Amino acid sequence: MRAFRSGQRVVGPPGVLAVALFLALSSTPSAQLPGTANGEWRYLGGDAGHTRSSTLNQINASNFSGLKAVWVYRGDNFGPGVEYTARSTPIHVNGTLYTVMGQRRQVAAIDAATGETRWTFREPDTMRYLRSPRTDFGKGVAYAEVDGRGVIFVSTPAFFLWALDAKTGRPLENWGTKPVPLKEFPKSGVIDMIPDLVSDWDPWLKWKGGAYDPDYGLPRQLGMITCSSPPIVANGVVVVLAGHEPSYDQTRIENVPADIQGYDAKTGKRLWKFHVIPRPGEVGHETWENDAWKHSGNMASWAPASADPQRGLVYIVTNASTYQFYTGHRPGHNLFGGSVLALDVKTGQRKWHYQIHHSDQWNYDIPTAPILMDLTVDGKRIPALIQNTKQGLIFALNRETGQPIWPIEERPVMQTQVPGNYTAKTQPYPTRPEPLDKIVLGGITDEYVMDWTPELKKRATDILSKFNIGGLYVPPLPYPHTNSYVNNVGCVGGLNIYHPPVADPTTGIMYASHQRGCSAPQYLVPTEGKDEERGLAGKSEEEWRGRERHTPTTGTTVARFKQGGPRTGVLPLMDGVPVYKPLNQALAAYDMNTGEKLWDIPVGQTPARLRNHPLLKGVNVPNVGGTGHSIQMVVGDLLVQTTEDLRGEAEANDKGMPLLHARDKKTGRILASVELPVPGQYGMMTFMHDKKQYIVVQAGSARRKQPGALVALALPD
């Protein structure tokens, strides 16, 4: 954590070139968790371990180029926000696909062979839906068989849980403890989860603002609650995840904790609730100093979950508490924020937890579901959990005990200079596997400085000498400040919800796409203790207040970003050329039996605006990957992959058609490609129906004005 100087120690190679030799794989095949047997895809991630993998091999390298689009299911029939429709991965059960479409998360049952609609379900309108901050992140549905009957479970932006008959789409009879007292709601088949959530929450018990209104939901003065990811069903229990405002839109420190709840799949009775912010006497309570647990909220689980039915455990990841970018009001490590939680699915009791980062204030919320598969490490069979992060760090844990498979070190990190703020002294760094991008270990050292020409290197070095260079966990500075440098600079090199990692349980290999980003955090400024909420009184004595971006909820804000004045949040560019070597998109493979990175290759091509830049005339510009996100899935012996159309620059052939690739799992080399009618987005899945294998790609492109859709491909009859 120091100001940049030319000649700094080199931390390590960026690792964007494929290795020539493929390391030996484990000879012991791994049992895949349930979900994909008999050609099904019964979980959001295929199997309960969220590997996004299938052993189906009717589609293989020899015939992949013969794939044709056999149907397209359009999302713009389901209302506005169509560019987000394709963020929901369908499941496949008995010849029917089930998913949610549009911002209202209408449930659709789709004929697997023809793409025809079998039924749809739309939740009745409520005011609380209109207040939801997460309408555009419905990632799918859950499925279970209850007394021989297929049931679709869906949690909605308005925080209702529905149980629908899989054949008809009708809400189940005699399901749920009591009817929702709203005119258009059925008498059964739905649960209002807000009363369950707040039943033991002190601010609600002391609420004097009137009776609960099921149409409006949680009173604005107390906060808001929603769902982002679907529930997961294991061993007869529907485990429901909860969400809040995105961290970058938070406007308050007070909010309702997003506790995790478990419901009986057969009856709808609530079985348990896990307190994500520990209360007195509970494990982790001491990590909330100054009684911050009383008013802090959020700690949501907006990424999907995974489960191990045999061990009776469900695995959930969390983000940070409110307000995220300033933590002086909640000093301490703040369990169970930024953590992997292993809960007993029958009781909700904590089996173990591992905190990925302490007291998050960087928007490092964990973006992907834990991946579960068995590994052979040093000759010993280990039930493993692999957690990828936005930072680019990869955590490998024993999913039965929570113990690290390889050592994880607590290392000192840069500390805050903002008056009253809090930063943890150390943060955990895995010693194995290596990060997706090693730039995160030391930041922009000499190895990562833009040096494609001597002139650019000199300019970049001069610019960076004015900044304080760090790797991860770089906090914002106060404004004004008296440091000799302009600002701190940090780097990340991981992935996000838009391009989830995948794994192959038969080999123990994980595949993860990643991209590099370095920036200078925005400054924080004092507001002299004045509450800046619009017409709503604050309650705390904090001097540092929060920014307003969207309509606030209520309560006390705590830290406001500097608006206007010196440009913040980015590093200066050199006439459009970055001061560090860019890595727009790469795809890496790790043998998780050994923790070794097998290969790491750029995805796509360096954009023309950089290749043809006047400052790079005559330079053989290296391939740093194209824009968008790499999206992949394991199918038999193939890694099937495509890219998102982030800037209208998705990988395409000479006719401008987006491409779906079949890659060699051992090397990443492209073996075959086919056209897609719409660029890919978020994920894909595969299934077998009537002896024919299908691949369904989530697709859409706001840049090309192509609405979200599902594109099904299959081989000709």
CA dist., res. 407 & res. 391, Å (int): 18
For tokens 């209208």, name the residue: 648
Given this model, what pLDDT does residue 580 score?
A: 97
CB atoms within 10 A of CB 528: 6
Residue 7, helix vs strand vs coil: coil
Given this model, what pLDDT does residue 697 score?
A: 96
Given this model, what pLDDT does residue 527 score?
A: 54
Given this model, what pLDDT does residue 85 score?
A: 55
| Domain definitions of the chain by residue range | 2-714
Given this model, what pLDDT does residue 24 score?
A: 40
Q: Among positive and negative, which fits the CA dihedral 321, 324, 329, 333?
A: positive
CA distances from 88 to 124, 141, 246, 503, 514 (A): 21, 8, 18, 19, 21
Strand partners, 490: 519
Range of lowest pLDDT (2-11, 293-302, 506-515, 653-662): 2-11
Given this model, what pLDDT does residue 552 score?
A: 34
When pLDDT is averaged across residues 146-162 and rounded to a whole number, the result is 96
When pLDDT is averaged across residues 660-665 and rounded to a whole number, the result is 97
For tokens 């419905």, name the residue: 138
CA dist., res. 288 & res. 284, Å (int): 8
pLDDT digits (tens, 9 = 90+) for 519-545: 998 888 765 444 444 322 233 323 333
When pLDDT is averaged across residues 569-584 and rounded to a whole number, the result is 89
Q: How far apart are the first and last CA of the chain?
A: 61
pLDDT digits (tens, 9 = 90+) for 175-234: 998 999 999 999 999 999 999 999 999 999 999 999 999 999 998 888 889 998 999 999
Is residue 346 over pLDDT 50? yes
User: What is the percentage of the chain residues whose pLDDT exceeds 90?
Assistant: 71
Is residue 31 over pLDDT 60? yes
When pLDDT is averaged across residues 695-715 and rounded to a whole number, the result is 89
For tokens 């968790």, name the residue: 33
Given this model, what pLDDT does residue 9 score?
A: 31
Given this model, what pLDDT does residue 83 score?
A: 57
Given this model, what pLDDT does residue 12 score?
A: 35
Decide if 512 contacts 495 (C-beta within 8 A): yes
Dihedral in degrees, nearest 10, Cα atoms 448, 450, 454, 458? -90
Given this model, what pLDDT does residue 298 score?
A: 87
pLDDT digits (tens, 9 = 90+) for 280-335: 999 999 999 999 999 888 889 989 999 999 999 999 999 998 877 788 889 999 99
- Closest alpha carbon to 713 in 665, 671, 661: 661
- Check residues 449 and 82 and name the one with the higher pLDDT: 449
CA dist., res. 534 & res. 434, Å (int): 46
CA dist., res. 171 & res. 151, Å (int): 9
Range of lowest pLDDT (26-30, 135-139, 354-358, 613-617): 26-30
102: confidence class by pLDDT, cuts 50, 70, 90: confident
> If you average pLDDT over each of 24-33, 48-57, 214-223, which comes out highest?
48-57
76: confidence class by pLDDT, cuts 50, 70, 90: confident
CA dist., res. 333 & res. 128, Å (int): 32
**Fold for domain 2-714?**
Methanol Dehydrogenase; Chain A (2.140.10)
- Check residues 589 and 222 and name the one with the higher pLDDT: 589
Given this model, what pLDDT does residue 81 score?
A: 60
- Check residues 177 and 427 and name the one with the higher pLDDT: 427
Given this model, what pLDDT does residue 423 score?
A: 95
Q: Where are the beta strands (DSSP E) in 178-231?
A: 190-192
For tokens 């905190």, name the residue: 355
CA dist., res. 634 & res. 510, Å (int): 10
Range of lowest pLDDT (113-117, 125-129, 562-566, 643-647): 562-566
- Closest alpha carbon to 298 in 258, 332, 270, 271: 258
Given this model, what pLDDT does residue 224 score?
A: 87
Is residue 61 over pLDDT 90? yes
